[in-house]
Amino acid sequence: MSAERLAPFVLIAPAVLIIVLFRLWPLLLGVNFSFTGDGDRNGAAVGLDNYAELFADPLFRGALRNVGWLVLLLPVAVAIPGMLATFIYLRVPGHRLYRSVYFFPAVLSPVIVGSIFNLLLSFDGPLNSLLDVVGIGPVDWLGDSKVALFTVVGVHVWATFGMALVVFLSGFATLDPALLDAARSDGAALPQVIRHVIIPGLSRTIQFVFVTTMIGMLTSMFGLIYVMTSGGPGGSTYLPEYYIWIQQGQMNRPAFASAASTVLFLVMLVVGLAQVSFLRRTGKED
Amino acid sequence: MKQRVLWPAAVAVALALAGCGSATGNEPSSNSASGKLVVWDWKSSDKTATAYVEKAKADFAKKHPGVTVEFVAQPFDQYYTLLGAAIQAGKGPDVMMFNGGGQIRDRVDALVPLDQYVGPDKERLAGWDAFTKDGKVYASPVTLQGHPIYYNKDLYKKAGLDPQQPATTWDGFTADCATITKATKASCFALGNKEGIGIQFFLSAFGSGILTPQEYDSWIAGKRDWNSPNVKKVFQLWKDVNDRGLNSKGGNSTTMFTDAFGIFQSAKATNIIGLMSDIGHWKDFNEFIGPDNLGVMKSPVITTGATPSLPFDGGIGYAVAKWTKDPVLAADLVRSLTSTDALATFYANAGAVVSDTTVKTTDGGAAVTAIVADLKTGKPALHVALSSKTIELMGRLSQQILEGSVSVDAALKQLGESDRS
């Protein structure tokens, strides 16, 4: 083979090597590891035992169910920054202030956010005192298993919507102001402007925010869960990541944790591929 | 032309190689061959442990002048994750710290049995059981950990009760609580169960007041009858105490470390099941409510025939890794880390109740004196005998019991199954 033919391969070799060596190979090792045992059966091949145990564990099934809840809550998590960005774009009084205030939480680490809300939402904390003043009984925001997951998701949305807001605002920059003026002079009310001008004009941006928010919810809730609920009460706020961490770190079952990681990887793969195909399809429409 | 292609290729290969090199250059070091021992723990970076570590190092240096000792303090919340990775790799520290009970018993495959090295310390130190599996000792105890019931004498006085004579029966105890709550608004217990730790403390603190001595001993020996009426009584009491409003509010969202301790320290609760060492112990409480106002009691008698005792075990200890080059040398370091001098310093600075029974504790106030006096009749704590898996399950179920989403019977059934597997 001549040097010219060889050159492209040599040039992509570093990137390929790094991906294979540090991404694919460890991934395969991890999957392979998930078919071995822990403790007394350390290193021995155990077939699908880990996976059978995993799906028999109500805690892990609960964690997967919570992932389902996250997916269902996704529209809310996208709608909030979308609405607020719309108001800023429409220049509500004080919109400059809001733009920076809304973005501010995005620079805080989940641990700090979690600690702040631990104080605010504690049973004898300020929020419950406020509810008491208006005559509503206290809510155990983080200690009631029916409420806790929604509390944590709410805090996650609060902490991260600033980034989505900025993306929305940049989307608005591409929106043709003439369309808005035309709609207004035709006598369209605000809901109509949003429904018929803004949403169609921003469809690409909305899709992008959907994808990034989904990824954010599935991959970066660990810090908040860890700080705010430790998976509780009664395991009601477990997510697969937290489950994996408990099994590996606290139960000393690395192979079992690998099996859970493999399942999480597959879930992410399905979600990711669905999103990619969704994006590709809508991309073709343009 | 050839040159133009070959140069970038050479640069690319060089870059790829450099990339590999830098990414794999962070292996844990184990250099005992070159006269160096590496110790992992989560204590040595604490200010209160500095003098202890220095004393132990000096003691070791006298015996082995040529060997350097390096302490690597890991963050506690990641300690067992990091250790797990080291064990998986088969290399890491020569000596490492462990909590007694499940954490060390789950990992004895990676440890050297110490019986032949630490024989001379057996009498002087207490708390070996928590570091023993199948008759072999895997670590030397540094501190003792246990669960005294601390109470606030000042609140007793304010309610017109005699703080020197706390009730010894359950009915008397709850009646006193009611009196105190009426007079001072302080709840009976400060409860923190966010981490699921509240139930562990509760089980161990009141277990000796509920189980008969025989039941207690068989539980520790591994013969646990989760269907027995007295075991059920422990968990029923856990629920009743909460249902009757004896706990501080919002227990499931209150952390034991350190919100629940804070409730007790600010006199918003009369009693708390605390610890003996590390944190949430007599020295912490002394600082807030004063040594004269801090009392310690054993469990009231809850079922007739029970003999209340102080539940305690070895708290933390140092073990020797299987992969160390020279186990004798590493075991000698463990012996230095548990020498009387070092432990006396640890007691004085950190307030830990240390494993060395010859260390004097008379200067610490009434509470620590009472704790040390109770050590003689004390027994291993009930929850320490459980596997980490069962402990974790018990934590979750305890939260569900408080919420009312799981019945006591259903919880006991699950716990029994987990304990047997």
Q: pLDDT tens-digit profile of A132-166? A: 999 888 999 999 999 999 999 999 999 999 999 99
Answer whether A11 sits within 8 Å of B109, measured CB to CB: no
Of B407, B394, B409, the residue nearest B199 (C-alpha): B394
Task: Spell out where B153-303 has E strands.
Answer: 187-189, 269-273, 294-297
Spatial neighbors of A266 by CB under 8 A, at least 6 apart, are none
B contacts of A7 (beta carbons < 8 Å): 5, 8-9
- The first and second tokens of residue B231, run together, are 């075991």
Answer whether B406 sits within 8 Å of A234, measured CB to CB: yes
- Transcribe B359-390 into DSSP letters: S--GGG-HHHHHHHHHTTT-B--TGGGS-HHH
Of B12, B107, B196, the CB nearest to A14: B12
Output the pLDDT for position A250. Answer: 82
**Closest CA of chain A from B267, distance in Å:** 15
On the question of a cis peptide bond just before residue B229, with omega within 30 degrees of 0, the verdict is: no
More confident residue, A92 or B207: B207
- The first and second tokens of residue B195, run together, are 């981490």
A contacts of B5 (beta carbons < 8 Å): 3-4, 6-7
- The first and second tokens of residue A111, run together, are 């641990």
The answer to whether the beta carbons of residues B332 and B352 sit under 8 Å apart is: no
Distance from C-alpha of B389 to C-alpha of B376, rounded to nearest angstrom: 30
Strand partners, A214: none
A contacts of B9 (beta carbons < 8 Å): 6-7, 10-11
Output the pLDDT for position A1. Answer: 61
Answer whether B194 sits within 8 Å of A232, measured CB to CB: yes
Ordered by where they begin, the domains of chain B are: 32-144+313-354 (3.40.190.10), 148-310+379-420 (3.40.190.10)
Of B12, B389, B395, the CB nearest to A13: B12
Helix (H, G, I), strand (E, B) or coil at B85: helix
Answer whether B194 sits within 8 Å of A143, measured CB to CB: yes
Q: Which residue of B1, B4, B252 is the best one to mutate when testing the A interface, meaning the one whose CB has the most A CBs within 10 A?
A: B252
Report chain A's mean pLDDT, rounded to a whole number. 90
**Closest CA of chain A from B79, distance in Å:** 8
The enclosing H or E element of A281 equals: helix A254-285
Distance from C-alpha of A38 to C-alpha of A30, rounded to nearest angstrom: 14
**Closest CA of chain A from B397, distance in Å:** 6
Q: Work out whether strand B269-273 and strand B187-189 pair parallel, antiparallel, or are unpaired.
A: parallel
**Closest CA of chain B from A125, distance in Å:** 11
Name the DSSP class of B100: T
What's the fold here for domain A52-280? MetI-like fold (1.10.3720)
Answer whether A252 sits within 8 Å of B80, measured CB to CB: yes
Q: What pLDDT band is residue A283 in, cutting at 50, 70 and 90?
A: low
B contacts of A251 (beta carbons < 8 Å): 106, 388-389, 392
Strand partners, B316: B99
ipTM of the complex: 0.83
**CA of residue B16 relative to chain centroid, distance:** 47
Output the pLDDT for position B7. Answer: 52
Answer whether A140 sits within 8 Å of B250, measured CB to CB: yes
Of B356, B380, B351, B381, the residue nearest B368 (C-alpha): B351
**Closest CA of chain A from B419, distance in Å:** 14
Answer whether A7 sits within 8 Å of B254, measured CB to CB: no
**Which of A:13-72 have CB within 8 Å of B?**
13-14, 17-18, 21-22, 39, 42, 59
Output the pLDDT for position B278. Answer: 84
Residue where the block lists tokens 């705010």:
A228
CB-based contact, A141 to chain B, within 8 Å: yes
Distance from C-alpha of A281 to C-alpha of B332, rounded to nearest angstrom: 69
A contacts of B254 (beta carbons < 8 Å): 122-123, 143
Output the pLDDT for position A25. Answer: 95
Answer whether B252 sits within 8 Å of A4, measured CB to CB: no
CB-based contact, A94 to chain B, within 8 Å: no
Of B397, B97, B1, the residue nearest A7 (C-alpha): B1
Of B250, B388, B405, the CB nearest to A143: B250
Count of A–B CB contacts within 8 Å? Answer: 120
Output the pLDDT for position B421. Answer: 82
What stretches in chain B show pLDDT beneath 50? 1-2, 5, 8-9, 11-33
Residue in A closest to B8 by C-alpha = A11
Output the pLDDT for position A201. Answer: 86
Answer whether B251 sits within 8 Å of A235, measured CB to CB: no
Angle separating helix axes A110-121 and A126-133, nearest 10 degrees? 40
**Closest CA of chain B from A254, distance in Å:** 8
Q: pLDDT tens-digit profile of A242-277? A: 999 999 888 888 999 999 999 999 988 888 788 778
Burial of A207 (0-12, 13-18, 19+ CB in 10 A): middle
Residue where the block lists tokens 């009930």:
B382
Answer whether B81 sits within 8 Å of A248, measured CB to CB: yes
B contacts of A123 (beta carbons < 8 Å): 249-250, 253-254
Phi, psi of B49 (to 5 degrees): -105, -5
**CA of residue B177 relative to chain centroid, distance:** 28
On the question of a cis peptide bond just before residue B357, with omega within 30 degrees of 0, the verdict is: no
- The first and second tokens of residue A94, run together, are 């004080």
**Closest CA of chain A from B225, distance in Å:** 23
**Closest CA of chain A from B7, distance in Å:** 10
The answer to whether the beta carbons of residues A247 and A260 sit under 8 Å apart is: yes
- Helix, strand, coil percent content, chain B, rounded in steps of 5: 50, 15, 35
Enumerate the domain spans of chain A. Answer: 52-280
